[in-house]
Chains A and B, each alone.
Chain A
Amino acid sequence: MDLVTEIGILVLGAFVGFEVISKVPNTLHTPLMSGTNAIHGIVLLGGLLVIGEAVSADDVLGQVILVIAVAFGTINIVGGFLVTDRMLGMFKRKPAPPKADEEKAS
């Protein structure tokens, strides 16, 4: 891709990011931060793309650096999505209590 195309993608992507988040209730700030946090774990792909070159170059230190990078990226993704899911699980139960009472009553 040439630079101009990539800058075009950047600008449009930025607009999408701004628009998507324009209205959020306070309550969801933390889960949303955590969710976007998981998405930037996509740098993992960068590690996957370049690690082969450190292998071909027989660069042991480079391979170590990239294995750590891949591990870091994986932690970011796996941990990020799971923690967000746990946080949101707390919210899901909100409408549950009255229903639970009805079930007990019936």
Chain B
Amino acid sequence: MPVLATSFLQDHNFLTALYILAVILFVVGLRGLTGPNTAVRGNKIAAVGMAIAFVATLLQPHILPNGQTAILIAVGVAIGTAVGIPAALNVKMTAIPQMVALFNGVGGGAVALIAWAEFRRRFPHGGEDWYLKAMIPSLFAAIIGSISFWGSNIAFGKLQEILPGRPIKLPGQQLVNLALLLICVGSAIALAAGDHSQLLFIVGILVAAGILGNMVVLPIGGADMPVVISLLNAFTGLSAAATGIALDNFALIVAGIIVGASGSILTNLMAVAMNRSVPAIIAGGFGGGDAGAAAAGAGDADRGPVRSTSAQDVAIQLSYARQVVVVPGYGMAVAQAQHAVREMALALERKGVEVKYAIHPVAGRMPGHMNVLLAEADVPYDQLKEMDDINPEFGRTDVSLVIGANDVTNPAANTDPGSPIYGMPILEVDKSQSVIVLKRSMSSGFAGIDNPLFYDPKTAMLFGDAKASVSDITAEVNAL
């Protein structure tokens, strides 16, 4: 072992140089990810950086020469690989948002567990000093990591529809959250001040922060979940940086803070695209609040009848239109209808109908979700129109075909100041000559708000599974 410890490969400066190389690759990779043409390569570059950082860490003199340590690492990495690879390769494109939430959660969990292990090492075993410089970041990492782990799991549950997507309100929520936060901070101060109770660390830090993570995400509506996941992603980055300070590890500090900073910016970009503020989202209650209830109540009074239609009628209407705008939403994703939609568009184009797709920045459950699905179905890129480009076109659109989208088309966002989504930019489908909505039922959207569009006299509803409905329409179009 002494021979190994002095070898060139394990020289401290050499290992630090490897870390610097890894960090450079992270930055170059991330910059690549911000452009459509460089994104694939960017992701691979970042992955190479990670591999270098991993190897550089294993080369550290005290790690591999210890047989048992090496076995434990191999076991952990093997389990992680065995779980991670199939999870990433088999997940359906529609379920990717919740998969990202889950991967973020385990990262936060790893941070919290490492802090716990560090605490155990110092206090019940061995009397080695734990300087405040290492201890305070560790306690911070434990709190944030635990919040991130549990919060991400709740986000996963909501998106996977294990938990209801609607906001879950608990009485006295804000007070309970404040109390939990105070318990975390108070326990951290007590631990740093010299109370080394194992129980206080587990209950006061890990459990209290875990409950806080649950409590903060539960009352947030499913429509806001992408922003929440992005925020928790930034949190995990910050906690990784804190772990880096605690362990004096350059790569952890830099990679962690870069994710923390870029994640914060990204969270804000997403919130701006939805006309929401991050504090308002965290305050929760979107859709379940008083304003939402009042708006829904007012809507009940002047609701017109809902007009239901058939696939044959829709096919006729579409075939004789000059321009059709397809507005895809989460319903299309759930039904895996993107290929069927592409078929329908081809059938219509053969009849000389111009087909465009209106993509709301937050349609589906993540920004870009619809782009991914339609690209998978080989929809030409130039037919995908962003909100600002397509909105002026609705006035001269004959038929808007809304496929499983709801809140992003809700005209209440423009007209009803009492609506909880008032002010959110929407796709103005109500400006087109007629609207056809493909929907499973009359249930409200992910935000839990009623949509006046459905009661508009020029709107017709075609109920049923989006994929089946679209296939029926295509068959009728071809039969015409």
A28 CA to B262 CA, complexed, in Å:
13
Residues of B within 8 A of A97 (CB): 378, 380
Contacts A13-B253, A49-B247, A49-B249: A62 and B121 contacting too (C-beta < 8 A)?
yes
How far, in Å, is B372 (CB) from chain A's closest CB? 5
B306 close to chain A: CB less than 8 A: no
B79 at the interface (CB under 8 A from A): yes
Cβ of A26 to closest chain B Cβ, rounded Å: 5
Task: Return the contact of B81 from the options A6, A43, A78, A88 (Cβ within 8 A).
Answer: A78
Contacting pair A18 B265 (CB below 8 A): yes
CB contact list, A60-96 vs B, under 8 A: 61-63, 65-96
Contact A46 B84 (CB under 8 A): no
Binds A, one of B106-114, B316-324, B347-355, B439-447: B106-114
Taking a contact as CB atoms under 8 Å apart, the answer to whether B66 and A65 are in contact is no
Q: Which residues 11-67 of A have a CB within 8 angstroms of B? A: 13-18, 20-59, 61-63, 65-67
- A45 close to B251 (CB less than 8 A): yes
A90–B369 Cα distance when bound, in Å, is 11
Q: Determine if A105 is an interface residue (Cβ-Cβ < 8 Å).
A: no
On whether the beta carbons of B63 and A47 are closer than 8 Å, the reply is no
Instruction: Contact check, A84 vs B69: say whether CB atoms are below 8 A apart.
Output: no
Produce 1/0 per residue, B385-424, CB < 8 A to A: 0100000000000000000000000000000000000000
Residue of A nearest to B254 (CB): A13
* Inter-chain contacts of A32 with B (CB < 8 A): 30, 33-34, 262, 266
Stretch from B94-102, B214-222, B459-467, B472-480 at the A interface? B94-102
Is B212 on the interface with A (CB-CB < 8 A)? no
* B120 CB contacts on chain A under 8 angstroms: 54, 59, 61-62, 65
CB distance from A98 to the nearest CB of B (A): 7
Pick from A16, A22, A25: contact of B36, CB below 8 A. A25
From 195 to 231 in chain B, residues with beta carbon under 8 angstroms from any chain A beta carbon are 226, 229-230
Contacts of B100 in A (CB 8 A): 30, 33-34, 37, 80, 83
Q: Is the CB of A26 within 8 A of B116?
A: no
Distance (whole angstroms) from the CB of A25 to the closest CB of chain B:
7
Q: Is B60 part of the contact surface with A, judged by Cβ < 8 Å?
A: yes
Contact across chains for B63 and A48 when beta carbons are under 8 A apart: yes
Residue pair A70, B77 in contact (C-beta under 8 Å): yes
B72 and A81 form a contact (CB under 8 A): no
Which among B34, B107, B133 is the interface contact of A43 at CB below 8 angstroms?
B107
Distance in Å from the Cβ of A95 to the closest Cβ of chain B? 7
Min distance, Cβ B275 to any Cβ of chain A, angstroms: 14
Contacts of A86 in B (CB 8 A): 88-89, 93, 96
Residue B58, interface by CB 8 Å: yes
CB of B252 closer than 8 Å to a CB of A: yes
Which residues of B (74-93) have their CB < 8 Å from a CB of A? 75-77, 79-81, 83-85, 87-89, 91, 93
Q: B252 to A45, Cβ gap below 8 A? A: yes
Q: Which of under 10, 10 to 19, 20 to 34, or 35 or more describes the interface residues of A?
A: 35 or more
- Known: A13-B261, A27-B368, A46-B252. Is A75-B83 also a contact (CB below 8 A)? yes
Residues of A with C-beta under 8 A to B125: 57-59, 62
Tell me the complex Cα distance, A84–B115, Å: 28
A73 to B108, CA, bound (A): 9
Is A76 a contact of B57 with CB atoms below 8 Å? Answer: no
Q: Do B256 and A40 touch (CB < 8 A)?
A: yes
**Cβ–Cβ contact A43 & B33, under 8 A:** no
Chain A hits for B83, CB < 8 A: 71, 75, 79
Task: Considering the complex, give the chain A residue whose CB is closest to the CB of B236.
Answer: A40
A67 and B72: CB pair below 8 A? yes
Query: How far apart are the CA atoms of A87 and B103 in the complex, in Å?
Result: 15
Against B, the Cβ 8 Å flags (1 = close, 0 = not) of A1-13 are 1010010011001
Give the complex CA separation of A30 and B75 in angstroms.
31
Q: Does B26 contact A (CB under 8 A)?
A: yes
B381 at the interface (CB under 8 A from A): yes
B43 and A49: CB pair below 8 A? no
Q: Among B79, B85, B255, which residue has its beta carbon within 8 angstroms of that of A82?
A: B85
B44-52, B163-171, B176-184, B286-294: which lies at the interface: B44-52
**CB-contact partner of B88 in A23, A36, A40, A79, under 8 A:** A79
Given contacts A6-B248, A31-B33, A43-B256, 12 further A-B contacts (CB under 8 A): A9-B250, A23-B34, A26-B367, A29-B367, A30-B367, A33-B229, A36-B258, A59-B124, A59-B125, A66-B117, A69-B76, A94-B375
Question: Can you list 19 A-B contacts (CB < 8 A)?
Answer: A10-B253, A14-B260, A17-B257, A17-B264, A21-B34, A29-B368, A30-B367, A37-B103, A40-B256, A43-B256, A45-B252, A46-B244, A47-B76, A47-B110, A49-B60, A51-B69, A51-B72, A68-B109, A79-B102
Q: Which A positions have Cβ atoms within 8 angstroms of B?
A: 1, 3, 6, 9-10, 13-18, 20-59, 61-63, 65-98
Q: What 7 A-B pairs come out closest when comparing CB atoms?
A: A74-B80, A17-B261, A70-B76, A82-B88, A29-B367, A79-B84, A78-B84
